[in-house]
Amino acid sequence: MQTISIAIHGGAGTLVKGMMTPELEIQYKAALQKALDAGYALLEAGKTSVEAVEEAVKLLEDSHLFNAGKGSVFTAEGTHEMDAAIMEGKSLNAGAVSLITGIKNPVCLARDVMDKSEHVFMAGEGAMFFAKMHDYEIEDPSYFYDELRYSQWQEIKDTDTFQLDHSLKKDSKFGTVGAVACDQDGNIAAATSTGGMTNKRFGRVGDSPMIGAGNYANNETCAVSCTGSGEYFIRGVVAYDVSSLMEYKEYSLEKAADTVINERILKIGGDGGLIAVDAKGNIAMPFNTEGMYRACKSSNGTEEVSIYKGN
């Protein structure tokens, strides 16, 4: 019988335990649990892996705790530029958006690019025009305002400094969100969404919306969603690298994911983690940082909601 499974992440980085209050940890785990349960319920009801990962990521985007959607960080101009991607493994269809503003759920726009256009990747003004064509509401900037995000930006505003949201000196709100899933038909999918870097300039784009770098799905191998130092994940083509090790070296999902995160990306100076599933419903969630917000659930009885190594 086909195993159904889902894994989600809310970012990886230097999650210093001393900076995390018990109350905040409860909030993070509750937000992860809510997204996990919603995605898994769709899989149990016979819905597709694409529907499950989109719903899970939407709920993470709706939480101010994570750097995506509502919780997106501030750019150098004091705006919010968001990126997202989604891919399904059966036909390798994919959709991605970058440098978009005012969109409550960027993952939904990425899904519409995949399903309702001839293209894979849209950015900036063109992506916004596509959103308006499909009747997306443009949220007021106040929707995305968060006091902690604002104070993070104020610390480095008007400097040449930019930083990943999981930098050591920052409070405990970190990075990208993502989901991967395997449905009752053995089809897999991945989705990733992010608000980028605090104080980013020059239209910087990270790995999250790049198919093969931060997001990838192929029924023959795996579905992957990454989080971490985007520049390195782009250079390492990390999501596709996991797939390649499975395809060409016949690695298991766990071995391929572990090799990429704990050997290959470290070798070029990158830190972070990823979540992955294969078409048998196996799950891998490796990271080389102190922690990664993560959760998974499978019909084989596996269930986990964790932040640090070992919990």
pLDDT digits (tens, 9 = 90+) for 98-139: 999 999 999 999 999 999 999 999 999 999 999 999 999 999
Q: Would you place residue 252 in the very low, low, confident or very high pLDDT band (cuts 50, 70, 90)? A: very high
Torsion-angle region of 7 (φ positive above 0: left; ψ -120 to 50: alpha; else: beta): beta
- The Cα–Cα gap between 311 and 301 comes to 18
User: What integer is the mean pLDDT of 6-17?
Assistant: 82
pLDDT of 20 > 90? The answer is no
Least confident of 68-72, 89-93, 126-130, 232-236: 68-72
pLDDT at residue 203, as a whole number = 85
pLDDT of 151 > 90? The answer is no
Round the CA-based radius of gyration of the chain to a whole number and report it. Answer: 17
- The Cα–Cα gap between 30 and 33 comes to 5
pLDDT at residue 74, as a whole number = 78
pLDDT at residue 172, as a whole number = 36
Find how far residue 4's CA is from the centre of its chain: 20
pLDDT of 23 > 60? The answer is yes
> Which tokens is 114 given?
């995949």
Q: Which of 176, 198, 221, 289 is catalytic?
A: 176
pLDDT of 88 > 70? The answer is yes
pLDDT at residue 14, as a whole number = 62
Decide which of 151 and 31 is more confident.
31
175: exposed, middle or buried (Cβ count in 10 Å: 0-12, 13-18, 19+): buried
Least confident of 126-130, 140-144, 201-205: 201-205
Letter for the amino acid at 138? I
Of the candidates 2, 188, 178, the residue with the CA atom closest to the CA atom of residue 93: 188
- The residues, any chain, with a CB within 8 Å of residue 293's CB and separated by 6 or more, are 9, 10, 11, 12, 15, 28, 32, 66, 174, 307
User: What integer is the mean pLDDT of 226-245?
Assistant: 96
CB 193 within 8 A of CB 94: no
Strand partners, 217: 223
pLDDT of 292 > 70? The answer is yes
- The Cα–Cα gap between 139 and 27 comes to 25
Tokens 């019909």, located at residue? 299
Letter for the amino acid at 253? L
Letter for the amino acid at 258? D
pLDDT at residue 141, as a whole number = 87
Least confident of 38-42, 46-50, 170-174, 237-241: 170-174
User: What integer is the mean pLDDT of 245-262?
Assistant: 98
Q: Indicate if 259 belongs to the active site.
A: no
Decide which of 214 and 80 is more confident.
214
Of the candidates 10, 180, 209, 206, the residue with the CA atom closest to the CA atom of residue 94: 209
Residue 213 per-residue DSSP state? T
72-81 pLDDT per residue, tens: 887 777 778 8
Cβ–Cβ contacts within 10 Å for residue 152, how many? 22
**295: helix, strand or coil:** strand
- The Cα–Cα gap between 294 and 10 comes to 6
CB 83 within 8 A of CB 98: yes
Return the beta strands (E) in 128-281 as ranges.
Answer: 177-182, 188-194, 215-217, 223-228, 272-277
Q: Would you place residue 91 in the very low, low, confident or very high pLDDT band (cuts 50, 70, 90)? A: very high
> What's the chain's average pLDDT?
90
Least confident of 227-231, 233-237, 303-307: 227-231
Residue 119 per-residue DSSP state? -
- The Cα–Cα gap between 183 and 310 comes to 28
